[in-house]
Amino acid sequence: MLFNKNCLKVKSMPNIFVTGYYPTHKIAEVVKKFFETRKKFPPSEFPGELLVDATSTSTERGIETVEIYNTSEENFGKATKWLTKSLVPYQLIEGFEYTVRNYTTLEEGLESIGMKMPD
């Protein structure tokens, strides 16, 4: 089988991945800020859907967290504005860095180069 048909089906784009990185000695401060920020920016107010909520792992850089959001093309501007506002409070935590990236699905990526999934 060329593709695993049983894996989680990612929704059509835009899928927005938010990745945060911070030192392990800042865990308590980041967790406190997370709960404060969630009160001001609950996922229910995001113009789209939160697909993966605050997963984390430890790395050589410290802690890495990932959240995955999905929105419509029409709401993409609103979604990125909402995410930016929700991430600003973390900028006050020394050592906290983040990235916000937009990903396409395999089908969408193939379509953008004039190809399609094999039958």
pLDDT tens-digit readout, 27-40:
999 999 999 999 99
- For residue 30, give every residue at least 6 positions away whose Cβ sits within 8 Å of its Cβ, in sequence order, or none: 20, 22, 63, 90, 93, 96
pTM, whole model, 2 decimals? 0.82
Q: Which domain holds residue 87?
A: 15-109
- Residue 1, pLDDT > 50, answer no
Query: Would you say 13 and 23 are in contact if contact means Cβ atoms under 8 Å apart?
Result: no
CATH of the domain at 51: 3.30.70.100
Q: What is the dihedral of CA 107, 100, 35, 51, to 10 degrees?
A: 0
User: In this structure, which amino acid lies at residue 103?
Assistant: Y
9 falls within a domain = no
- At residue 103, the 3 state secondary structure works out as strand
2 falls within a domain = no
The helix (run of H) or strand (run of E) holding residue 83 is helix 76-87
80 falls within a domain = yes
4 falls within a domain = no
46 falls within a domain = yes
117 falls within a domain = no
116 falls within a domain = no
- Residue 116, pLDDT > 60, answer yes
The model's pLDDT over 79-104, given as tens digits with 9 standing for 90+, comes to 999 999 999 999 999 999 999 999 88
43 falls within a domain = yes
Name the pLDDT band for 23 (thresholds 50, 70, 90). Answer: very high
Number of domains in the chain: 1
Distance CA 31, CA 47 (A): 24
